[in-house]
Amino acid sequence: MTTGKKAASDAAKILRDSKSSKKEKEVAASDLSGRRGATTAKPKTKTKSR
């Protein structure tokens, strides 16, 4: 299961917030690790050359 965009955004805000506790940041990081493809582009498809 992947993390949704809203949850990932909320988790990122927690990680940036200096007032967040260590436990909150651990949970937020765990949530973000479930966000597949958040920072990677879609792979390009290869075309056959003639």
Reported as type and span, the H/E element at residue 23 is helix 22-33
Predicted TM-score of the model (pTM): 0.59
Q: Report, as an integer, the average pLDDT of 35-43.
A: 53
Query: One-letter amino acid identity for 17?
Result: D
Angle CA 25–10–32, to nearest 5: 60
Assess whether pLDDT exceeds 80 at residue 18: yes
Residue reference for tokens 């651990």? 26
Among 5, 13, 15, CA closest to 35: 5
Query: One-letter amino acid identity for 3?
Result: T
Question: What is the residue-averaged pLDDT of the chain?
Answer: 78
